[in-house]
Amino acid sequence: MNIRHLLGFHLVFCLLFFTSCEKEETPTITPNPSTETPPTATETPFLQEEGDFRIGYYNVENFFDTIDDPNNEKDDEFLPNAAKEWTMERYQAKITNIGLVMQGIEFPVLMAFSEVENKTVLEDLVDSELLKNEDYGIVHFNSPDFRGIDNALIFKKAAFSVLSSEAIEVSLPQSVSQFSTTRDILLVKGTYEGEILYIYVNHWPSRSGGVAETTLKREYAASILRQEIDDLLENEPFANIIAIGDFNDEPTNVSMTQVLEANTSSPTSADNQLYNYSTVITDPNVGSYFFDGWQMIDQAVVSGQLLDDTGKMKVVGYNVYNDPMVLFDHPTDGPRPDRTYGGDQYFGGFSDHLAIYLEVKNL
């Protein structure tokens, strides 16, 4: 379904109200590191042979600096004198925590992020003690999102060469949302071992206000991404495509299966369809986000060309980084993401999301 198909949704749209409302959850206790090891993600072994590499993604939960941006009043809560008391010490702890996650997944060649305020925080991250020797480059554009949070990608300059990059605008029509701005989709085209990759970094509109009430926002974002991919495939039918990010929907939701047309089954041969590789995880106790149970809203969608042995690279694994370090034990729910804040209460954790990553073999 492309953007033209979605117009039918808008013509018949009427706002629905449900008693349930999925808003960002606030922990009710002070998190502590988990002592229980969560279920493993995938069982696919990853042989670290020459040329094999990883592509990661992490919604880092409000990665703001401590400096006031006069053009963005929404960053005022992340200042030293604000209720959150976002000090330099806490900012540096956040950078260290993100670095620990990247170290835990062995410093991927490509690492995508959501909820970063600006390029400055990315520069501080790649120059930090844990990352400085990895020599990461940065791809970032300022987004029109009303909170000022952006998508970004960092890459190992010795392994990946950026050929081009752009921010794809997702401007929501009034029939879908009273707020027209949301995060851009970041597109990065580059080469690894001479093979071209197209990486789309996503952070679709949230479920705040209710799943049903916000579903058309995500379906519209999905239609924009689908149209962009269709345009690419028209010229390059067997392009190596990876769409990764926080889609704020699960793999079986309409936005993913019908609008984006991301298949949940594996291809039998190389083709130009899209496949949701996060569906290899079937354990309900494994997810990237926790709200009334584990959800897999952070996902990786790949083109069929990357799932076949006929190309030069192949996606062979998908994992959620659920090391006990990034979790805390809830008294009734068990291990959950150890987040940085709950409202204005500082927990000092990592993020309200868990990082995900793909294993890619060089054939």
Q: Which segments of the chain are extended strands (E)? A: 53-63, 110-116, 136-140, 150-156, 160-168, 185-192, 195-203, 241-246, 262-263, 274-276, 289-290, 294-295, 298-303, 313-320, 327-330, 334-337, 341-342, 345-346, 356-362
- Give pLDDT, residue 198: 98
Mean pLDDT value across residues 96-111:
98
CB 185 within 8 A of CB 153: no
Half-sphere exposure of residue 43: CA atoms within 13 angstroms, side-chain side: 3
- Give pLDDT, residue 15: 34
What is the amino acid identity at position 181? Answer: T
Phi, psi of 136 (to 5 degrees): -90, 140
CA-derived radius of gyration, the chain: 19
Please provide the distance, in angstroms rounded to a whole number, between the alpha carbons at the two ends of the chain: 33
pLDDT band, very low/low/confident/very high, at 333 (cuts 50, 70, 90): confident
- How large a percentage of the chain has pLDDT more than 70? 87
What is the tens place of the pLDDT at every residue in 190-210?
Answer: 999 999 999 999 999 999 889
pLDDT of 168 higher than 80: yes
Mean pLDDT value across residues 341-355:
97
**Short-list 303, 282, 175, CA closest to 230:** 303
252: exposed, middle or buried (Cβ count in 10 Å: 0-12, 13-18, 19+):
exposed
d(CA 249, CA 207): 8
CATH level 2 (architecture), domain 3-11+31-362: 4-Layer Sandwich (3.60)
d(CA 100, CA 293): 25
Q: Which segments of 157-297 are extended strands (E)? A: 160-168, 185-192, 195-203, 241-246, 262-263, 274-276, 289-290, 294-295
pLDDT band, very low/low/confident/very high, at 234 (cuts 50, 70, 90): very high
> Alpha carbon 315 to chain centroid distance?
18
Token representation of residue 73: 């009043």
What is the tens place of the pLDDT at every residue in 180-193?
Answer: 779 999 999 999 99
The full set of domain ranges for the chain reads 3-11+31-362
What is the tens place of the pLDDT at every residue in 124-155?
Answer: 999 999 999 999 999 999 999 888 999 999 99
Specify the higher pLDDT residue, 231 or 71: 231
d(CA 251, CA 268): 20
3-state secondary structure of 48: coil
- Give pLDDT, residue 47: 52
Token representation of residue 358: 């793909």
pLDDT band, very low/low/confident/very high, at 3 (cuts 50, 70, 90): very low
The CA dihedral of 263, 248, 321, 121, to the nearest 10 degrees, is: 130
Specify the higher pLDDT residue, 115 or 28: 115
pLDDT band, very low/low/confident/very high, at 300 (cuts 50, 70, 90): very high
- How large a percentage of the chain has pLDDT more than 90? 75
| Burial letters 41-67, b for 16+ CB under 10 A, else e | bbeeebeeeeebbbbbbbbbbbbbbbe
